Structure 1
Amino acid sequence: MAIADDVSEGGALPGADAQAPVRWGPRQWLMLVVVCAAFSLDALDNIMVGIATPQIKDEFDMSTSAAQWIVSAYVLSFGGFLLLGGRMADLLGKRRVFLTGLAVLAVGSLAGGLATDGFMVIAGRLVMGIGAALTAPSALSIVVGGFPEGPQRNRAIGIYTACGAVGYSIGVVVGGALTQASWRWTFMLSVPVAVAALIGALVLVPKDPARGPGTRHYDAAGAVTVTAAMLLLVYGIVQAPTEGWFSVRTLAVLAVAALLLAAFTVIELRAPEPLLRLGLLRNKSLVGASLVAAAILGTYMSYQFIGSLYMQSYRGWSPLEMAFAFLPLGLMILTFAPRAGNWLGKTGLRRPVFGGMAAYAVAFLLFLRVGEHSSYWVMILPSMLLIGIGFPFAFTAANVQATQGVDESEQGLAAGILQTGYQVGAAVVLAVVTVRMGGEESSVARADLLNGYHQGTWVIVAIAAVTALAVPAAALVGRRRTGRTAPAAAGPAEHHAG
């Protein structure tokens, strides 16, 4: 897991030498606020509607299998269209794709909020996911392109990822509070925010540079195959807990996804201007960051899923009570995330990822203590606080690592690969956790329910621990390889592959 191969032995990032303090003008700050608002919205939407799903299910008398698509539809379209959205940002212009994504997101949110049946809610969520797949990679590209590499970019990415991290945590609080009033507000809140961000982006985000005639060729075959492959891959993963991992349907869907990915590889090798330059996948920093991203969000979303079930279904807490239970986690992220970017320049990237994932592992271990009448302050709050410390450091480091050293013309695609790691990781880990937890809530004895929560938590403990240990292991392997291949007097190792 090549996280921070480009970091020197001293641990500092390139460009992190003593420099004048970072100072930005009002326009730079406002542009960052607009982009961060869109990123926060992607995260909020992912969480808020999940909190409201039981109420939507009851209002429209949906089956459990149908109701899970309220969440899965968003994950499906978001994860399925991310690579295409990232490459569109490179080819069509990041500002143009960002604006389009915000418009699509607003339309989908409005449709979901005004829905008169379950099908309309699911359709709205599909559209929202497509909008998020366009805004997420283009937003990160705008941030990376708007600030020079080094302390300024680290700080900007730190603030940007802070907003996403806060969205993922505060989404539980906001979702619980809005659901208490009406589930429709979990959709409708996104409409004015998306419209305001769109107007702000029209004014503040610089226009994309004019492109020459040689950049007008688009790899349509590659776009179709990779999007279809990602859609089928995510669909197979989210359906596996219901259908069975070794059912004919699941295996068939995953096999077709694999065949489409193979076809995509052949197409990209032959295309004059490929959608995905395969050499980019030899960039160890990008691939390593994407794997870490999968672990970060996969374990975090699974913890929220288990915690929400434990608090609401097992303990009988209201959505608002659960929202306040998660509030300290969001406050910790809000406190540490804006500072994480500045600290990266002093510590490098290995330490924040290792420390963040180690804090995750300890937090999940502590959560294993919960029982039928556990005290929130003694048994649950310590986990919340540790996650609130670990999340912003690992999350920010992964985003910095993924975009470092990538050419400007491929920043959107790199952001798309990273975001795919986040979304596919969330889908895969949650699917495995769900299988490990066992049957439907309504058909399982109370003691078995608690045991299921513990079994699911053991999965995320293992993933967090393995990810944390992989960071120093990868660094050690990298040093040994450098020692074997480089003369004693050689300079720093080459920063990036591909």
Structure 2
Amino acid sequence: MTTHAPARKTADKAPAAPVRSRALALAVLCAGMLMIILDGSIVTVALPAIQQDLGFTSADLTWTVNAYLIAFGGLLLLAGRLGDLVGRKKVFVAGLLLFTAASLLCALATDQGTLIAARFLQGVGGALASSVSLGMIVTLFPEPGERGRAIGAFSFVGAAGASIGQVLGGVLTEALDWHWIFLINLPLGLAAAALAWRVLAADRGPGLRGGADALGAVLITAALMLGIYAIVGTAEHGWASGRTLGLGALSAALLAGFLVRQARAAHPLLPLRMFRSRAVSGANAVQVLAVSGLFGFQILVALYLQNVLGYGAAATGLAMLPAAVAVGAVSLLLSARLNARFGERNVLLAGLALLVAALGLLVRLPVDAGYAVHLLPTMLLVGGGGLVLSGLTTLGMSGAGEADAGTASGLFNTTQQVGAALGVAVLSTLASSRAADLTAAGRPAAEALTGGFRLAFAVATGLLVAAFALTAVVLRPSK
């Protein structure tokens, strides 16, 4: 039994908003997410400049990213549920305003502590806005064809934001200074919040008393934050350290307590009935694997371009541009049509196969790679990610009705962030360890680094193969 049929029935009961107003609402949601995604990629390019200006050590510098990831990933599920209870429009606008205010604090930061604290607040704001976006799209576009096109547009914005962020981050950092990567959020955030308040339809939930599970909220937020904290710390402490194992065990215990609580609570934060849908549970599981491989690829290729081939920040962003353009074009122009004709599962399998081929080409990457010969084919094949992201989003939100669309959106975004954190932590650790071993064996620095990246790309390819197999087995059509 799945929750798919009741969800569609619930959505069909609500009168559809005029086409123009729904298009404007989608544009506002995409604009808000563009700012958040833009910031995520723009910061990574500016890290060396931030380190030099504020005197970060290499270990402390990671907290400018980790503080954001911990808050963002840890609060997504709770924020999604808050949207269902108090209104998704209110939560979305509040998230945009908090993210914008925190961006100003980041830009004004003159010491490490202020910047890290402001990045944490950015993560909180990003979680509030991101957690309810897909839920609002689901309720805005109940008809499958329209919903598919809307999700394709949303995926396109994600790819465009990541691409623009890498290019813009390099340009702003080199032409001005790193403070401007945060100042650019101010006009974007204020405009998006104002338009959202004006354009998005008001929605009213039952209120906090109608379904607040305070204990469940504490358990899942603590579990996710501790889990992500343990993952992002593996680069410094290692996977087998007492710190990593202890935090991992505590996170698992809190997660187990949360699941027990959800099975017994009168108003659970995450209704376990959602996992009865094979599409929902399977899509979230596949997403962890697929995003781990794909997000790790983005980070590692950027490091290879800079540390081995000697590209600058702006050149690295431009080199990654074809991948983002390919993903965006496939998401916007092809994904909805292909999903409607062949079904999300078949299109998802095709997209995963393209990603396996893309990353497989990097397993034998040479030290002196030529961009056109060795990297451009991978960048173009990564366009398969547009099929993967839209298919997973459609399947992951397929069981969401009006009452729990925010929760389903928060869950889907949570598994996405967990996959990203795992991918970066696992693959970067493997690459660093392999490079250190090769250096100790007397290999030149460039060759040692390339050897580490090859191993990481091989593991990333394996993660995508596992995602393909899981899709084939778990997401089979119901008989």
Output the TM-score relative to the length of structure 2: 0.91
Output the amino acid matched with 1:62. F
Kept in 1, the 8 Å contact 2:435–2:448? The answer is: no
- Which residue of 2 is the match for residue 490 of structure 1? none
Q: 1:335 Cα deviation (Å)?
A: 2.0
Which of 286, 289, 306 is the matching residue for 1:292? 286
Counterparts of 1:289 and 1:168 in 2: how far apart (Å)?
23
Does residue 379 (structure 1) correspond to residue 374 (structure 2)? The answer is: yes
Summarize the Cα distance change of 1:277–1:58 in structure 2 as closer, same or farther, 3 Å threshold.
Answer: same
Counterparts of 1:47 and 1:127 in 2: how far apart (Å)?
17
Which whole-Å deviations, capped at 9, do the CAs of 1:148-199 have from their partners, x for residues lacking one?
2311111111111221222233322222222222222221222211111100
Counterparts of 1:438 and 1:93 in 2: how far apart (Å)?
45
Kept in 2, the 8 Å contact 1:162–1:396? The answer is: no
- Which residue of 1 is the match for residue 104 of structure 2? 110
- Which residue of 2 is the match for residue 448 of structure 1? 448
Which of 423, 430, 433 is the matching residue for 1:429? 423
Does residue 304 (structure 1) correspond to residue 321 (structure 2)? The answer is: no
Which whole-Å deviations, capped at 9, do the CAs of 1:219-257 have from their partners, x for residues lacking one?
111111110111001101111221111111111111111
Kept in 2, the 8 Å contact 1:101–1:131? The answer is: yes
Counterparts of 2:346 and 2:263 in 1: how far apart (Å)?
37
Output the amino acid matched with 2:462. A
Q: 1:473 Cα deviation (Å)?
A: 3.0
Query: Equivalent pairs: percent with the same residue?
Result: 32
Kept in 2, the 8 Å contact 1:328–1:384? The answer is: yes
Summarize the Cα distance change of 1:127–1:214 in structure 2 as closer, same or farther, 3 Å threshold.
Answer: closer
Counterparts of 2:17 and 2:227 in 1: how far apart (Å)?
44
Does residue 164 (structure 1) correspond to residue 158 (structure 2)? The answer is: yes
Indicate the RMSD between aligned Cα atoms, in angstroms. Answer: 2.5
Kept in 2, the 8 Å contact 1:296–1:391? The answer is: no
Does residue 320 (structure 1) correspond to residue 322 (structure 2)? The answer is: no
Counterparts of 1:342 and 1:132 in 2: how far apart (Å)?
30
Counterparts of 1:122-161 in structure 2 under 5 Å? 122-161=116-155
What secondary structure is seen at the aligned counterpart in 1 of 2:40?
Answer: helix
Q: 1:109 Cα deviation (Å)?
A: 1.0
Q: 1:301 Cα deviation (Å)?
A: 1.7
Kept in 1, the 8 Å contact 2:290–2:463? The answer is: no
Structure 1: runs of 5+ lacking an equivalent: 8-13, 16-21, 483-492, 494-498
Kept in 2, the 8 Å contact 1:296–1:395? The answer is: no
Counterparts of 2:141 and 2:153 in 1: how far apart (Å)?
12
Q: 1:440 Cα deviation (Å)?
A: 10
Q: 1:214 Cα deviation (Å)?
A: 9.3
Counterparts of 1:80-229 in structure 2 under 5 Å? 80-181=74-175, 182-209=177-204, 211=205, 216-229=210-223
Summarize the Cα distance change of 1:120–1:355 in structure 2 as closer, same or farther, 3 Å threshold.
Answer: same
Counterparts of 1:28 and 1:213 in 2: how far apart (Å)?
25
Q: 1:360 Cα deviation (Å)?
A: 0.9
Kept in 2, the 8 Å contact 1:104–1:131? The answer is: yes
Q: 1:274 Cα deviation (Å)?
A: 1.5
Kept in 2, the 8 Å contact 1:268–1:276? The answer is: yes
Summarize the Cα distance change of 1:293–1:168 in structure 2 as closer, same or farther, 3 Å threshold.
Answer: farther
Structure 2: runs of 5+ lacking an equivalent: 10-15, 440-444
Output the amino acid matched with 1:206. A
Q: 1:25 Cα deviation (Å)?
A: 3.7
- Which residue of 1 is the match for residue 340 of structure 2? 345
Kept in 2, the 8 Å contact 1:50–1:70? The answer is: no
Kept in 2, the 8 Å contact 1:165–1:391? The answer is: no
